[in-house]
């Protein structure tokens, strides 16, 4: 049977991808940020899964305001890097796992979560930046990836509780897959940031780190955090953090092992949070 071995949480700031692609990762501004991911790259080499189930939000590349699914699962064999206005990132094509993706879709939909099944889409920085941060600059990604897009752009967005429970349904689905695959689930986006309006540039270090504490130790209670607090305390784009609850909900109910934790500000105008949790054996 397949099993979820670990969860990875990270911001997906587009400027991070640009810094990597333009060879600026050693610059004074960026060096401290990328140093925080060196332990993650080493960890990943020792813990490479068969499949990554990667939760992210699309930034008007695969979906537009004309059509916004709340939850969308990629069931294709591969996904091209998206052109977000300045050409696609120079990163490998993402290879999918259609069989596991279709199985998860079937199981989760039967558990009353409505998913949009996507058989063709390009993937933007929300998905490729996390892969670059943890896998490094590679000729091909080291494992298959199932993209899972969540609407955190246009209200109404799903509640933290629904995201957490969805993670539990994904955990159940993976455990029912009749092949011994090692699966990691990644939650991406955040942390505190606001890109527009009078509060543009908002970063809340204290709130971010409390969120990380609670994600580790009390995810069940954290799932009930209201949308209003995300927006008030973490900015309009801080709502992306509900996606981390999908990954956390997919973990075992037993306390996880913290393999790595990192927090850095700023990256562009965003607080960067990063966490690796391993399931207890």
Please say whether the beta carbons of 150 and 243 come within 8 A.
yes
Q: Is 260 a catalytic residue?
A: no
Structure token digits, residue 62 = 């695969």
Please say whether the beta carbons of 176 and 4 come within 8 A.
no
List the catalytic residue out of 12, 103, 125, 274. Answer: 125
Structure token digits, residue 8 = 């990875």
Q: What share of the chain is helix, strand, coil (3-state, %, to 5)?
A: 35, 25, 40
CB atoms within 10 A of CB 272: 25
Q: 84 Cβ partners below 8 Å, 6+ apart?
A: 14, 59, 61, 124, 125
Structure token digits, residue 85 = 């206005």
List the catalytic residue out of 97, 103, 193, 264. Answer: 193
Q: In angstroms, rounded to a whole number, what is the distance separating the alpha carbons of residues 123 and 117? A: 15
169 phi/psi in degrees, rounded to 5: -65, -35
Q: In angstroms, rounded to a whole number, what is the distance separating the alpha carbons of residues 36 and 21? A: 18
| Residues β-bridged to residue 117 | 73
Q: Is 12 a catalytic residue?
A: no
Q: In angstroms, rounded to a whole number, what is the distance separating the alpha carbons of residues 169 and 113? A: 8
Distance of CA 253 to the CA centre of its chain: 20
Q: 213 Cβ partners below 8 Å, 6+ apart?
A: none
Q: In angstroms, rounded to a whole number, what is the distance separating the alpha carbons of residues 25 and 208? A: 24
Query: Known catalytic residues?
Result: 125, 193
């Amino acid at each position: 049977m397949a099993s979820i071995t670990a969860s990875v949480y990270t911001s997906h700031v587009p400027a991070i991808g640009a810094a990597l692609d333009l060879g600026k990762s050693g610059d004074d501004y960026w060096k401290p940020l990328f140093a925080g991911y060196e332990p993650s790259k080493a960890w990943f080499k020792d813990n490479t899964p068969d499949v990554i189930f990667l939760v992210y939000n699309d930034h008007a590349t695969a979906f537009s305001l004309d059509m916004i699914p709340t939850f969308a699962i990629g069931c294709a064999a591969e996904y091209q890097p998206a052109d977000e206005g300045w050409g696609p990132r120079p990163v490998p094509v993402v290879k999918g796992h259609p069989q596991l993706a279709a199985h998860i879709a079937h199981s989760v939909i039967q558990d009353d979560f409505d998913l949009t099944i996507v058989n063709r889409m390009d993937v933007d920085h929300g998905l490729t930046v996390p892969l670059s941060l943890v896998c490094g600059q590679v000729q091909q990604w080291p494992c298959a990836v199932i993209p899972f897009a969540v609407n955190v752009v246009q209200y109404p967005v799903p509640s933290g509780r629904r995201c957490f429970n969805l993670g539990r349904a994904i955990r159940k689905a993976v455990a029912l897959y009749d092949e011994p695959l090692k699966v990691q689930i990644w939650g991406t986006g955040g942390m505190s940031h606001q890109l527009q309006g009078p509060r543009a540039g908002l970063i809340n270090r204290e709130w971010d780190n409390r969120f990380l504490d609670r994600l580790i130790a009390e995810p069940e209670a954290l799932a009930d955090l209201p949308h209003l607090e995300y927006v008030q305390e973490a900015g309009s784009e801080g709502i992306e953090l509900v996606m981390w609850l999908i990954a956390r909900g997919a973990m075992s109910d037993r306390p996880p092992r913290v393999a790595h934790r990192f927090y850095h500000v700023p990256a562009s105008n965003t607080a960067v949070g990063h966490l690796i949790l391993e399931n207890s054996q």
